[in-house]
A and B are shown apart, each in its own frame.
Chain A
Amino acid sequence: MSPSTHYDVILIGGGHNGLVAAAYLAKAGRKVLLLEARSHLGGLAGTEELFPGFHAPVGHADAGLFSPQVIKDLRLESHGLAFHDVPAAVFAPQPDGRALTLWRDPARAKAEIARFSARDAERYPEYLRVTARLAAVLAATAAEIPPNIISPSLNDLFPWARVALKARRLGRADMMDFLRLLPMTAQEWLNEWFESPVVQAALGAHSVTGSMLGPQSSGSAYMLLYQQMGVPNAGYRSARFARGGVGAVIAALTRAAESHGVEILTDTPVARVLLENGRAVGVELADGDLLRAPVIVSNLDPRRTLFGLVGPQQLNPRLMRRVRNIRFKGSTSRLTLALSGLPKFKGAPDGHDHLTGYTLICPSLDYLEKAYDDAKYGRISANPALELHFPSLHDAALAPAGQHLVSITIQFTPYDLKGASWAKEGKRLTDLVIKTLDAYAPGFKSLVKHNHLRTPASLESDFAATEGGIMHGQMALDQWLIGRPVAGFARYATEIPGLFLCGAGTHPGGGLTGLPGRNAARAILKNRRS
């Protein structure tokens, strides 16, 4: 690269939000250089070959939350992105040998639920309608730049009129439900709808995914809704799968970004953001090279950006305190297993259709809360909640012929272990998960050929995610909207002129949505005179 090259924007971090922001900025005519420390793009939304011939997602397995607006704006379908429907939303085998499958077909799901509770089955269609309506309001907030509440301007507030209109259309009863639901616990909300613990768990387990919250924690109902902002919903979280796995989303984004002229450099870690007179003017690479641009955008989490790349000494104490107080609290680990075949769960229907969505080991919300209880006090859950996904069922190319790959999200595995260290606990956790699965699917253990565990500690070291928090900051009401990443700096700009954030640590938050990246790009284009 020639050092005389001029860039309008240097973007640090090639996660999905970084790619989205880069593509939008380049599309608007900015000359953008994107720097990625790792050899592959995608970050936590990336794919990696963990065992020869097995390509597994790092984090997100599906793209159900990915913004249709981003797909449209960046013409991702013309860049090769395609989705395919799967019959199952979630399959939940039970300790007593029964199993519940929530099919994406509501009639089929209703019939399944009736096996556990006739009353719940009757309520299920209405539950789907209500949650879809409420989630749509949340989705409307997610797509906007949070308002400046200190000195609001008409320009900024105008888009929020649309959100308000959407909320009004809910009608009074639904509106009350929306406001009531946000600070509620997922368990109380689901208690109001359903009586069967099995049904409650199948619909509510994802309310705490990636969070250090239990289903009895305030704010978990908001996360329940957040996970249903996308399409299609089917009660369990929004989940649709890209052809070729989640890596296909990254590939399409990369092509879109490059088509607009984004230059991408991988294996190029950034050491720090350069400041001159308190203004961000460029970056210093790990190899010492200096690159300059009037706008620096970071896809890293807010603390990694402001403390790691800028330095707490460059921030005013007011902002420093807020950044220091961001709760990250990584709570999930990812175990990836290479399997010689598909497991046979007790109570499972014939065939493999039930495994096409997620497979959930979480018999009740009480079970999940108890798993959280352990984590609250710094212990790995004695009985962890497990969410399995079989990428190889979606795309046979992700595993060698006849073999399979399973990605297991384990909750809870707190970053801060009391009296133990992640360096030593990994093997024990792997064994615990395999043993747990063996009880639900006899013979599971013998299918395992390879295993790879990524703990909050290794998420932090491998993906620069502070405390292994995959959401780049706990998703909680106090770290939402105008409070994300911190109060006073929720509009993608930081205190440092020229430095912006575009990652999951900004509004609307974690998950494969592309929205922080899109919102950030819009905020930058609005704010910059350039």
Chain B
Amino acid sequence: MPIPTPFHSRTAALSVSHEWRDWSGYLSVARYAATHDAEYYAVRSGAGLLDVSPLFKYEITGPDAARLVDRIMTRDIAKCAVGQVMYSPWCDEDGQTIDDGTIQRFGPQHFRITAADPSLRWFQDVGYGLNAQIRDLSADLGALALQGPKSREILKQIVTQSDDSLDALKYYYLTPAKIDRIPVTITRTGYTGDLGYEIWVERRYAEKVYDSLYDTGRKYGLMPLGLVALDMLRIEAGLLLIDVDYIAATKADIESQKSTPYEIGLSWAVDLDGADFIGKPALQRELKHGSEWFFCGLEIDWPHLESLFATHNLPPKVLGMASRAAVPVYKDGYQVGQATSITFSPLLKKYIALATLKTQYAAFGDDVHLETTVEFSRQQARACVVKSSFFNPKRKREVLA
């Protein structure tokens, strides 16, 4: 049975729907009201406040901490400055992706890593023989994502002290700060592809920080955000979800279910020039011989979809939320891959999907077909293969100071 997060007293009180999901064993709000539309729009126009405490969090310290993190991650950690945050996948010995997360560098030998799955044993094994300590902070640390165009202004109202002014804090950097005299860490990160921050706080202060953010945020149109709206937002941003868009190597039933970072659109996060990391030789080979799959976005041709429904005298009907049921993608009548996340984007007014296709048979710019059910019959809606970042506003990275 799922257990409450450090913010449960607050999220539970705000949830009118009482619709919960189990996220890594924690109670997470699916949507606060009967529908999630308002939450979705709040993130794109004002701000949303999401409890991300169920993420697994690990602290790595000690004389060999940097070596250990470098050995785990496919990114080159030498390039991660103190105060910087990096996103990176990590792989098994065969270069197959185990998980992905962020690395926060607090000091030359002091890191925090977020993970979707429990990772203590893996990190310890990779670090065997190194002088580094790994502490599981998952239960001790509350985390809130404050996302949306107004998030900076909201934070500026309540942050009393920070090393970096929030105006100057760059995308994927961190700063220690105080909210109501409570020490927190603020990272400029998130899972919505928008301007946004994540606030990391000791469990005992969690509720106070929540109150501060929520009360101030209300004036800026802030709404508490649940997982249903989040799913639409992250698809718009083209961000991967583990166990949906790729299967963790540790959980795959068969070899072919595993994916290398190259196959899930993360080639930019693989640095073969840096220090050795687990899976590097396999990825070097893959780079040389080419990948079997590539990750992309699909933009479904709406008029074509309309015409498929029209044959039944129906208006086009799509789910008002993201679908995580994988469906086949065809090209010239043959299946060339699958779409793993699909949503209608109310903001972009587009029906979009994240897909994995065979490199041998498809490429960016190609026309493909997505299996779509129209009045109980399987149809194929035309779609174009595009880059996965459908929504990528300037404000995401913009620095004011």
Which residues of A are in contact with B by a Cβ distance under 8 Å? 278, 307, 311-313, 316-318, 320-321, 324
Contacts and interface: CB of A to CB of B under 8 A. Distances in A.
B93 A317 contact: yes
Contact of B129 (A307, A318, A321): A307
A324 B128 contact: yes
Interface string B107-151: 000000000000000100110111000000000000000000000
Identify which of B125, B128, B278 gathers the most chain A CB atoms within 10 Å of its CB.
B128
10 contacts: A278-B276, A311-B129, A312-B129, A313-B71, A313-B128, A313-B130, A317-B125, A317-B126, A320-B125, A324-B128
Nearest to A323: B128
A-B pairs, top 3 by smallest CB distance, nearest first, are A312-B129, A316-B93, A317-B125
Interface residues of B, number: 13
A321 B125 contact: yes
A320 B128 contact: yes
Contacts of A311: 129
Interface in B68-105: 71, 92-93
Contact of A312 (B128, B276, B281): B128
A316 B122 CA distance: 11
Contacts of A321: 125
Contacts of B93: 316-318
Contacts of B281: 278
Contacts of B128: 312-313, 317, 320, 324
Nearest to A311: B129
Interface of B: 67, 71, 92-93, 122, 125-126, 128-130, 276, 278, 281
Nearest to B125: A317
Contacts of B278: 316-317
Contacts of A313: 67, 71, 128-130
A434 B71 CA distance: 54
Given A316-B278, A317-B93, A318-B92, 17 more contacts: A278-B281, A307-B129, A312-B128, A312-B129, A313-B67, A313-B71, A313-B130, A316-B93, A317-B92, A317-B122, A317-B125, A317-B126, A317-B128, A318-B93, A320-B128, A320-B129, A321-B125
B45 to A, nearest CB: 46
A318 B98 CA distance: 14
B190 to A, nearest CB: 31
A126 B125 CA distance: 52
A215 B93 CA distance: 40
B397 to A, nearest CB: 36
Contacts of B71: 313
Contacts of A278: 276, 281
A312 B129 CA distance: 6
A278 B275 CA distance: 12
Contacts of A324: 128
A231 to B, nearest CB: 44
Contacts of A318: 92-93
A321 B121 CA distance: 11
A320 B124 CA distance: 11
Nearest to A277: B281
A499 to B, nearest CB: 16
Contacts of B122: 317
Nearest to B279: A316
B187 to A, nearest CB: 28
A316 B129 CA distance: 12
A318 B92 CA distance: 9
Identify which of B92, B129, B276 gathers the most chain A CB atoms within 10 Å of its CB.
B129
Identify which of A311, A312, A321 gathers the most chain B CB atoms within 10 Å of its CB.
A312
A277 to B, nearest CB: 9
Nearest to B130: A313
B127 to A, nearest CB: 8
A307 to B, nearest CB: 7
B276 to A, nearest CB: 8
Nearest to A319: B93
A307 B281 CA distance: 21
A311 B129 CA distance: 7
A307 B130 CA distance: 12
A321 B129 CA distance: 12
Contacts of B67: 313
Nearest to B128: A312
A321 B126 CA distance: 10
Contacts of B125: 317, 320-321
A278 B281 CA distance: 9
Contacts of B130: 313
Contacts of A320: 125, 128-129
A280 to B, nearest CB: 15
B260 to A, nearest CB: 16
Contacts of B92: 317-318
Nearest to B276: A278
B194 to A, nearest CB: 37
A312 B128 CA distance: 6
A395 B237 CA distance: 84
A313 B278 CA distance: 10
Identify which of A307, A313, A324 gathers the most chain B CB atoms within 10 Å of its CB.
A313
A307 B92 CA distance: 20
A385 B93 CA distance: 46
